[in-house]
């Protein structure tokens, strides 16, 4: 046992030394790891996978995708620790829960690994963990913009269908929307769960119990797709004011047929693609943009659907 331990220690020293050099070098063997908080079942992240694959091809770097299979954030912390232990040139990660993830991310930064926060997190948190920048959509502001728009269209009350109730950052969208409308969030946010049938039934139940609801806000394809079915079945499609965050094939079809008024595109492709570009150019030439990058919000309405339709679910 003792000799095995010694061997491991020796191995560790041997293995660590060449990696230390490589991490600071300008070699063409750049490796980045993207760690997401999404469970395997969340199809939205497919765009992210396509984004890093394309960036990797174009720039000649290796980008790996890792996620906790069940979406358990404590497991995600272990994956970030694991990613740091494998000494990549950079880590791109979400900051879905600051308490859980800040420790592992800080440790990675302090080991000399460059980190970019994407998708979830705030500019302040990004600065605090010592990451290079934040690439994503400021969620509260996006919700606020949507709320103001909806108020202009005459909306007074709404229901927010939240399929990721444990993600505090995503809930900010509902808060922003409520503030934009100038109403109290109160009980307007429902915990819909991840299962499509469950989501559909919860929405139906809510709208039946609260028939005076003016608008529906869904927070992504996971909650939007079943909600589309629900409003169609209830015969209020096109009648109720329906807005959604993020895009997907079903959402695009629904925007086209008038069921959904608008989709807010946070352009996940950019959240995956740009960090790789930034990291690769930083490692190769030492150049770095001076600010955080806002990948969204962009409103997608029935008027501008051509490119969106072509690439929905793939790059949009």
Binding site for another protein (CB under 8 A): 8-9, 11-13, 15-16, 19-20, 40, 64-67, 69-74, 77-79, 81-87, 97-100, 103, 106-107, 109-112, 130, 165-166, 168, 171, 191
Are the C-beta atoms of residues 224 and 162 closer than 8 Å to each other? Answer: no
Give the list of residues 6+ apart from residue 286 with CB closer than 8 angstroms, or none: none
Structure tokens that stand for 299 in this block? 């409103």
| Least distance between another protein and beta carbon 74 (Å) | 6
| Identity of the residue, 166 or 281, whose beta carbon is nearer to another protein in the bound complex | 166
Angle, alpha carbons 209-212-218 (nearest 5°): 80
Smaller CB distance to another protein: residue 74 or 302?
Answer: 74
Q: Which is nearer to another protein, 87 or 222 (CB)?
A: 87
- Phi/psi zone of residue 299: left (φ > 0), alpha (ψ -120 to 50 degrees), beta? beta
Location of structure tokens 């501008």: 304
Whole-number minimum distance, CB 154 to another protein, in Å? 28
Cβ closest to another protein, residue 162 vs residue 294: 162
Cβ-proximal residues to 7 (8 Å cutoff; 6+ apart), any chain: none
Closest to another protein by CB, 83 or 145: 83
3-state SS, residue 13: helix
Q: How far is the CB of 295 from another protein (least distance, A)?
A: 23
To the nearest whole angstrom, how small is the minimum distance from the Cβ of residue 81 to another protein?
5
Residue placing its CB nearer to another protein in the complex, 206 or 242: 206
Q: Which residue's CB is nearer to another protein, number 85 or number 304? A: 85
3-state secondary structure 36-80: CCCCCCCHHHHHHHHHHHHHHHHHCCEEEEECCCCCCHHHHHHHH
* HSE of 136, CA atoms in CB hemisphere, 13 A: 23
DSSP 247: -
Torsion of CA 106, 111, 113, 118, to 10 degrees: -10
Helix (H) or strand (E) holding 198: helix 196-209
In whole angstroms, the minimum distance from the beta carbon of 62 to another protein comes to 8
Q: How far is the CB of 301 from another protein (least distance, A)?
A: 32
Nearer to another protein, 79 or 272 (CB): 79
Least separation in angstroms between CB 249 and another protein: 20
Question: Omega into 297 within 30° of 0, i.e. cis?
Answer: yes
Shortest reach from residue 49's CB to another protein, in Å:
9
């Amino acid at each position: 046992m003792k000799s095995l331990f010694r061997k491991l220690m020796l191995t560790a020293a041997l293995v660590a030394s060449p990696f230390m050099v490589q991490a600071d070098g300008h070699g063409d063997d750049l490796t980045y790891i993207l760690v997401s908080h999404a469970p395997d079942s969340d199809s939205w992240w497919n765009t992210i996978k396509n984004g890093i694959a394309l960036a990797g091809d174009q720039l000649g770097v290796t980008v790996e995708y890792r996620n906790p299979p069940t979406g358990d954030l404590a497991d995600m912390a272990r994956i970030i620790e694991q990613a740091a232990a494998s000494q990549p040139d950079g880590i791109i990660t979400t900051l879905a829960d600051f308490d859980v993830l800040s420790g592992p991310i800080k440790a990675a930064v302090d080991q000399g690994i460059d980190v970019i926060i994407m998708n979830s997190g705030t500019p302040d948190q990004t600065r605090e963990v010592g990451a290079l920048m934040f690439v994503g959509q400021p969620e509260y502001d996006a919700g606020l913009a949507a709320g103001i728009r909806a108020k202009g269209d005459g909306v007074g009350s709404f229901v927010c269908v939240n399929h990721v109730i444990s993600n505090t950052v995503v809930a900010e969208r509902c808060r922003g929307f409520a503030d934009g409308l100038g109403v109290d969030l109160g009980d307007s946010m429902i915990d819909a769960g991840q299962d499509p049938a469950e989501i559909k039934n919860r929405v139906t139940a809510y709208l039946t119990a609260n028939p005076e609801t003016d608008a529906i806000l869904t927070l992504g394809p996971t909650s939007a797709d079943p909600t589309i079915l629900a409003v169609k079945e209830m015969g209020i499609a096109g009648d109720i004011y329906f807005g959604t965050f993020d895009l997907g094939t079903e959402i695009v079809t629904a925007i086209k047929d008038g069921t959904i008024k608008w989709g807010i595109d946070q352009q996940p492709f950019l959240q995956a693609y740009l960090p790789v570009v930034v990291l690769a150019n930083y490692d190769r030439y030492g150049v770095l943009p001076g600010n955080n990058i806002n990948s969204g919000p962009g409103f997608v309405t029935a008027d501008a659907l051509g490119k969106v339709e072509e690439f929905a679910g793939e790059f949009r």
